């Protein structure tokens, strides 16, 4: 584990299932996990980024969410504390969504936010 600042982050069962399907299909190692981070950009200032990575990096927070490892870098912690990552499947489409209590605003498409 790491000595990074602790972050509280949750991942719904449906999001975990989607990520695990991908990990299994790609035959990635048991050390693999989902990297959740914030990057500059988007119409509201910041955007979310999700990647599958084979292992955590030095300084990462490593969170266990329903059997899935989640990696959060030290710079993203301040923006992601308390966030919930979900996966929705509806007539409007399917994809990952973010419920971020730290957000003070977001764009119309919901892929970027401001704090």
Domains of the chain, residue spans: 10-102
What pTM value is reported for the model? 0.81
The matching CATH number, chosen from 3.40.50.10090, 2.60.300.12, 3.30.465.10, 3.40.50.300, for 10-102 is 2.60.300.12
Give the dihedral of Cα atoms 73, 67, 22, 71; nearest 10 deg: 0
36-93 residue pLDDT tens? 998 887 666 788 899 999 999 999 999 998 889 999 999 998 889 899 999 998 887 8
């Amino acid at each position: 584990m790491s000595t990074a600042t602790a972050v509280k982050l949750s991942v719904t069962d449906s999001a975990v299932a989607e990520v695990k399907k991908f990990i299994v299909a790609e035959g990635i190692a048991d050390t693999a996990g989902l990297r959740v981070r914030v990057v500059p950009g988007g119409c509201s200032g910041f955007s979310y980024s999700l990647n599958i990575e084979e292992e955590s990096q030095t300084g990462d927070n490593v969170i266990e969410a329903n059997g899935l490892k989640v990696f959060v870098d030290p710079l993203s912690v301040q923006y992601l504390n308390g966030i919930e990552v979900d996966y929705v499947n509806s007539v409007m489409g399917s994809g990952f969504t973010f419920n971020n209590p730290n957000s003070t605003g977001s764009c119309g498409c919901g892929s970027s936010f401001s704090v």
